[in-house]
Amino acid sequence: MLIVTDDATNSPYDFIKDLPQIYVSIFQFAPLDHASVALESDDTLFAQTSGNMQAKLVLINGFVQPNIQQNPGQWYRWRMQHTATSTILMASLPGCQIMLLALDGIWLTTPRMVTQLVFQQPSRADVAIMCPAGGPYQLIDSTAPNTPIATVSMVSIKETGPTVLDIGQWNLQRQDYLQDTTNLPASAIANTPFTISITGTETRSMNGVQFSGATRDKALHIMKPNTIEEWTLDVEQHPLHVHVQPFQLQSDAPNGFYKKGDWLDTYVGNGQMVVRSRIPNVYGVVVLHCHVSVHADQGLTGIMWVDGTPKPVKKNSSSIMFMAHVSAVVTIIVSIILMAL
């Protein structure tokens, strides 16, 4: 898990600074599928052919159904990530309150209360959670269905959280590339209409084209730097992940979880979703692909291209000197060995 240190320049610091942090890394995979692939690959390590193999296994911080501890009636910040080979996760915590703070590492404009968290494969979420006295409470995976994946116990621990959250302290500092795009007129949009289409569960192409290279002539779409792009996502069966720049939803999603104004880097949903993205002055490839790895490997990958200003890569003189020393040492060692023969 990559942890970004919060400070007043990149977060609603006054709101989150007093929230004790709990790291929740969820790893979901299918042992039966792994065994099948191993058998096809002549791999003996994972090719288990007997025993009680599960169709689905969920680990949290490396454990099966771990116990997470909090003080009752106090708010804690859970920094959550979900990694999966092919399956989404819908998590709920009945009896407790959940306030959604961030999605895919990007703070919400305003936090909101939710009863369920939706994790694509993979994705992230930051939440504030408070459970009253009593319990224990079960973190439930409703896609299983309704399978407990962790227990939250009310105990007395050293890390104390606030009993009340003050939304008035949510003073968010947005970087330029995350400034709101939802209320901009059509004249502010740089591009002609562009749709990213992946239809059908068996599809292994994007806009009818399989991946064939990462050069400008292979791009599905050409973009100009320092502009605002608008795309229509038609991705009902495959989670679309876009590199480099996040995109902002221009309406609420059909699943009721994602809302207008949310910034994401991965999305899947019924119907079409219009999104906007601020394109910086970069040059070259923007990769987009299905976030189910095997589908991306089978061709469900594409690129967009930004005609920005190429920037030369600066050589690190200390690294060059280090490699020169390494080369010299290797040469001396080889010479000594040859002389000894």
26 in Cβ contact with 59 (< 8 Å): yes
pLDDT of amino acid 162: 96
DSSP state of 334: H
Cα–chain-centroid distance for residue 172? 21
Planar angle of CA 136, 125, 292, nearest 5 degrees: 110
What is the model's pTM?
Answer: 0.86
Which domains does the chain possess? 13-173 (2.60.40.420), 178-307 (2.60.40.420)
pLDDT of amino acid 335: 44
What the block records as the tokens of 113 is: 């209360």
CA distance 81 to 258: 17
CA distance 117 to 87: 14
Give which of 257, 265, 260 is closest to 249, Cα–Cα.
260
DSSP state of 314: P
Give the SS3 label for residue 102. Answer: strand
DSSP state of 6: P
CA Rg value for the chain: 24
Token match 């692939």: residue? 37
CA distance 211 to 224: 22
- In residues, how long is the chain? 341
Mean pLDDT by 10 residues, the chain (341 residues): 72 93 92 76 72 80 96 98 89 98 96 96 94 97 90 95 95 91 94 88 88 95 96 93 95 96 95 96 94 88 92 60 47 43 46
